[in-house]
Amino acid sequence: MKTKFQGKEINIKRIGILTGGGDCAGHNAVIYGLLRRINAANQTLPKDEQMELIGLLEGWKALTRDPETEKDKIEVKLTTPDLKDSYKVAGTIIKSSRTNLFSKENLAKKAPEKAIENLKKLKIDCLVVLGGDDTLGAAGKLGKQFTFPMFGAPKTMDNDVYGTDKTYGFDSSVIESVHFIENIITTSKSHNRCFVVEVMGRHAGWVALYAGIAGGADVVLLPEEVVDMREVIKRVEKTMASQKYCVVVVSEGARLFDTRFPKEVNDSNKKLLDAVIADSKYALVKARHELPKKKDSFGNEQLGGIGEYIFSLLQEHTKGIQYRLQNCGHAIRGGIAHVSDRILGLRFGDAIFDFMKEGKFGVYPGLRGDDIVASDLLTVKGGKFVPDTHQLYKMRNAVDFY
């Protein structure tokens, strides 16, 4: 297909597509949405302008490999049979990885230069990158530095990418979390217990907020709030006294200590945690607390484990209540791609083809109201947090309304 790039006519025939970062529902729908448009256009295009969609395997990792010796590990031609049913499920049929081309180590290896060189060896005319702000940010840098035709699509179950009201992957993760919480509630009721349920979401609490409220949790703890364990304990005790069972949902990015917390809260939480760490039955909590924080290739702190802290603090500082800890973990990423993520993914893939046809490169589609709009890849960023002015923020703790 002939189009304009940087004021010059180009003929796009081989379109590369990759998925980076964590998997989620909607990846396959974006791929299929784009493939549908390619297939439709090919019906009327001259033979020398007809296109094919090439899946690049394992995200950016594909472009760090040698096309001459590892081509079977790098690319696969995508066809309708590959995607006609796959778009209904989560995950990504072209695999993913958390490879950062612009990490200090990869810059020393000239990974960005190698990636562009490999795209040319593979005869890729245009690259479509599906991922969160880290993956899309890398696409923006690569496209600008080497003047290469590039597109993106914003995914993440965390719903924390600017430029879109909603990322694909979010709704499905909320629905799966709600199922998890509802199942926990029946057991909680049956045994008069309090369950602490940890859900993913990094430093944005959208999944915990929506799933906690929709699933019927009594207490919801978010990364955006000041977590005062004295108040959490009061809420749990009130819930147990009122209904004999309780479910606390905590986002993995919630924390007990933060420079933005009042000193009194940090000091109080420390005192409560010190009592836990001093108790030999919480040896695993002590060991976790003393371990250095790990980071991924993009420099992001690897989260997870706050549920264990909340569980142990509640168990140590309340009496007569049985507690259990559950972690939704990666289960809420996978399984079914629910309807809204199928539709949003298909719309994003469809929109990318329109942008390509119009010669509007270096952008990613986003949802604004019910419209699809284009945002510049160079401006993409994460950190779309839950504001304390949000209606649901004020509704998050059901126990406050008992």
CA separation for the pair 225, 392 (Å, rounded): 13
Mean pLDDT of the chain: 95
pLDDT band at residue 299 using 50, 70 and 90 as cut-offs: low
Taking each continuous run of H as one helix and of E as one strand, the counts in the chain are 13, 13
Higher pLDDT, 93 or 303: 93
Domain locations along the chain: 2-168+337-379, 173-333
23, 82, 125, 158: the active-site residue: 158
What architecture is the 173-333 domain classified under in CATH?
A: 3-Layer(aba) Sandwich (3.40)
Share of the chain above pLDDT 90, in %: 91
- Calculate mean pLDDT across residues 11-31: 97
Q: Report helix, strand or coil for 64.
A: helix
CA separation for the pair 10, 23 (Å, rounded): 33
**Closest by Cα among 60, 55, 54, 50 to 20:** 60
pLDDT band at residue 297 using 50, 70 and 90 as cut-offs: low
Choose the CATH number for 2-168+337-379 among 3.40.50.450, 1.10.357.10, 3.40.50.2020, 3.40.50.300. Answer: 3.40.50.450
- Structure confidence by residue, pLDDT tens digits, 87-138: 999 999 999 999 999 999 999 999 999 999 999 999 999 999 999 999 999 9
User: If you search the block for the tokens 């072209």, which residue do you land on?
Assistant: 94
Q: Are 24 and 155 in contact (CB under 8 A)?
A: yes
Is-same-fold flag (2-168+337-379; 173-333)? Answer: yes
- Structure confidence by residue, pLDDT tens digits, 265-290: 999 999 999 999 999 888 888 888 87
Q: Are 160 and 204 in contact (CB under 8 A)?
A: yes
Is the pLDDT reported for residue 302 higher than 70? no
Q: Catalytic site residue 158?
A: yes
Q: What is the pLDDT of residue 382?
A: 87
- Calculate mean pLDDT across residues 364-376: 97
pTM of the model: 0.93
Q: What is the pLDDT of residue 383?
A: 87
Q: What is the pLDDT of residue 360?
A: 97
Q: What is the pLDDT of residue 286?
A: 85
DSSP letters for 271-332 = HHHHHHHTSGGGHHHHHHHHSPPPB-TTS-B----HHHHHHHHHHHH-SS-EEEEEE-GGGG
User: If you search the block for the tokens 């909603």, which residue do you land on?
Assistant: 166
Q: What is the pLDDT of residue 157?
A: 94
| Alpha carbon separation from 146 to 14, 121, 143, 158 (Å, rounded) | 18, 15, 6, 31
Neighbours of 319 (CB within 10 A): 5
- Structure confidence by residue, pLDDT tens digits, 143-173: 999 999 999 999 999 999 999 999 999 999 9
Q: What is the pLDDT of residue 329?
A: 87
Share of the chain above pLDDT 70, in %: 98
- Structure confidence by residue, pLDDT tens digits, 173-189: 999 999 999 999 999 99
